[in-house]
Amino acid sequence: MSEMARPAVRRKLYRVAELAKLWDVDGSTVYRMIYAGRLRAERHGAKGGAIRIPATAVAEYEASVAAPVTDVAVA
């Protein structure tokens, strides 16, 4: 199949409210994660638009918080 004949693949973009519900946290928590740089997000639409979080960013964040801790000092 040629490049032109291939249908466009849409990537999944989450809304802040969707992630808040998925992770069982308040929406303000998701916003804080974005503004702190812990969760990558994009703006879509006119005048700065709505905040959307790509599925790849969600996977990156979840992998980072699920990583095993190896440098723990035991008192």
Domain count, the chain: 1
Q: What is the mean pLDDT of residues 9-32?
A: 91
Asked if the model's pLDDT at residue 13 lies above 80, the reply is: yes
User: How far lies 63's CA from each of 15, 32, 46, in Å?
Assistant: 19, 19, 32
Examine residue 72 and state whether it is found in any structural domain, yes or no: no
Q: What is the mean pLDDT of residues 29-49?
A: 92
Host domain of residue 59:
13-66
Upper half-sphere CA count for residue 15 (Cβ side, 13 Å): 5
| Better-predicted residue by pLDDT, 29 or 7 | 29
Examine residue 36 and state whether it is found in any structural domain, yes or no: yes
Asked if the model's pLDDT at residue 4 lies above 70, the reply is: no
The mean pLDDT value of the chain amounts to: 84
